[in-house]
Amino acid sequence: MNEEKNQYAVQVKDLVKKFGDFTAVNRISLEVKKGEIFGFLGPNGSGKTTTIRMLCGLLVPTSGSGEVAGFDIRKEPEVIKSHIGYMSQKFSLYQDLTVEENIDFYGGIYRVSKGTKRERKEWVLNIARLADKRNRLTSELAGGWKQRLALGCALLHDPEILFLDEPTAGVDPSARRDFWDLIYRLSQKGTTVFVTTHYMDEAEHCDRIALVSQGEVVALGSPRYLKTELMLNKVIYLECDRHLEAMVSLEQEQAIKEVALFGRGLHLMVKDVAAALTVVRTVLKKEGIGITKLKRITPSLEDVFVSLIAGEKQKLTERI
């Protein structure tokens, strides 16, 4: 039993957080293996940040239980803080300090010993590629460099578990890609990474994902598992002359479960592909809308999420 328990960096059972009458997190249960990149994926307002703050010992749960790095999130929040790194979406940096001064400041916050402080600082500067910017004011850095600095500060004390809350929000695609390269390197060295995001494409980088909506986990598994085993509907890709008009018309059809804008076209969630293709051609021909592309495709994680959330809404409607 203890050996099984030691496999996990995070274990949570029926975690609940209420603010007055509002339930932000509703009976979330999950386990994160040591060294795993675990994605907590969902739209803004789905309870991701509230969950991560409870796991980091920053919020007290209303009910439920959990352990992080082997310590109780209710009884030992201060101990947990010394074993984790936490990077918030707002990059908690001091803009009027230089890069090096920010690192020194956080070295003090994390109580990094004098014997290792210089070594750890140089490691952070190197891994974040900030060595040549050590004397620059933080306010002068572009978003991607601030992101790297914030991550470096969270890693100063060599934490077992790294919690990243929307770490790539507001940075350009190139910076996002570089950031994930860094996350991979940390994971390969044994660091557990728990990352929240609302970017569906980023979730593909994770070993496993929990899809959350309205404070609840609606699906849990690897990206491949979610797309092949849990997808409730099949997906048709449509490119046509007037996407918005087509979207409005097709949403009225029973054969089309959901319609979503996706890049240059539309993704249609359907049960019966053959029947749906016939409906699409008939409806758009009647509307005088020309079709450029129409074919079944492999679902993306965004398709899975849309399909699962639609299913949850349907269950709620049936209960009411």
Residue 311 has what pLDDT? 58
Residue 13 has what pLDDT? 97
- Residue 300 scores a pLDDT above 90: no
Residues 83-98 have pLDDT tens digits of 999 998 776 789 999 9
Q: Note whether 197 and 312 are same-domain residues.
A: no
Q: Note whether 94 and 28 are same-domain residues.
A: yes
Q: Note whether 157 and 241 are same-domain residues.
A: no
Residues 233-245 have pLDDT tens digits of 899 999 999 999 9
Where is the domain boundary, 193, 222, 251? 222
Q: Which two tokens stand for residue 235?
A: 């997906």
| Average pLDDT of the residues of the chain | 89
Q: Note whether 122 and 248 are same-domain residues.
A: no
- Residue 1 scores a pLDDT above 50: no
Q: Note whether 40 and 105 are same-domain residues.
A: yes
Residue 320 has what pLDDT? 36
Three-class DSSP labels, 210-246: EEEECCEEEEEECHHHHHHHCCCCEEEEEEECCHHHH
Closest CA to 305 of 215, 168, 204, 212: 212
pLDDT (average), residues 12-19: 97
Q: Note whether 19 and 89 are same-domain residues.
A: yes
Amino acid present at 45: G
Residue 249 has what pLDDT? 95
Looking at residue 136, which CATH number applies to its domain? 3.40.50.300
- Residue 317 scores a pLDDT above 50: no
Q: Note whether 110 and 8 are same-domain residues.
A: yes
Higher pLDDT, 229 or 56: 56
Residue 92 has what pLDDT? 79
Q: Which two tokens stand for residue 261?
A: 């804008």
Q: Note whether 268 and 178 are same-domain residues.
A: no
Q: Which two tokens stand for residue 68?
A: 């992080």
- Residue 182 scores a pLDDT above 90: no
Residues 255-293 have pLDDT tens digits of 998 898 888 899 999 999 999 999 999 999 999 999 999
Specify the range with the lowest mean pLDDT, choosing from 25-34, 46-55, 110-119, 259-268: 110-119
The percent of residues above 70 in pLDDT, for the chain, comes to: 95
Q: Note whether 197 and 157 are same-domain residues.
A: yes
Of the pLDDT bands very low, low, confident and very high (cuts 50, 70, 90), residue 319 is very low
Q: What is the pTM of this model?
A: 0.82
**Element (DSSP H or E) covering residue 164:** strand 161-165
- Backbone CA torsion sign across 267, 270, 272, 275: negative
- Residue 312 scores a pLDDT above 70: no
Q: Note whether 166 and 51 are same-domain residues.
A: yes
Where is the domain boundary, 198, 222, 246? 222
Residues 150-178 have pLDDT tens digits of 999 999 999 999 999 888 877 778 878 88
The whole-angstrom separation of Cα 137 and Cα 100 is 9
**Residue range of the domain that includes 301:** 228-319
- Residue 108 scores a pLDDT above 70: yes
In 167-206, DSSP assigns E strands to: 192-197
Residue 310 has what pLDDT? 62
| DSSP, residue by residue, the chain | -HHHHTTEEEEEEEEEEEETTEEEEEEEEEEEETT-EEEEE--TTSSHHHHHHHHTTSS--SEEEEEETTEETTT-HHHHHTTEEEE-TT----TTSBHHHHHHHHHHHTT--HHHHHHHHHHHHHHTT-GGGTTSBGGGS-HHHHHHHHHHHHHTT--SEEEEESTTTTS-HHHHHHHHHHHHHHHHTT-EEEEEES-TTGGGGSSEEEEEETTEEEEEE-HHHHHHHS--SEEEEEEES-HHHHHHHHTT-TTEEEEEEETTEEEEEES-HHHHHHHHHHHHHHHTPPEEEEEEEPPPHHHHHHHHHHHHHHHHHHH-
Where is the domain boundary, 200, 222, 244? 222
Residue 109 has what pLDDT? 86
Q: Note whether 137 and 269 are same-domain residues.
A: no
pLDDT (average), residues 127-131: 88
Q: Note whether 21 and 138 are same-domain residues.
A: yes
Of the pLDDT bands very low, low, confident and very high (cuts 50, 70, 90), residue 4 is low
- Residue 45 scores a pLDDT above 70: yes
Looking at residue 258, which CATH number applies to its domain? 3.30.70.980
Please state the domain count of the chain.
2
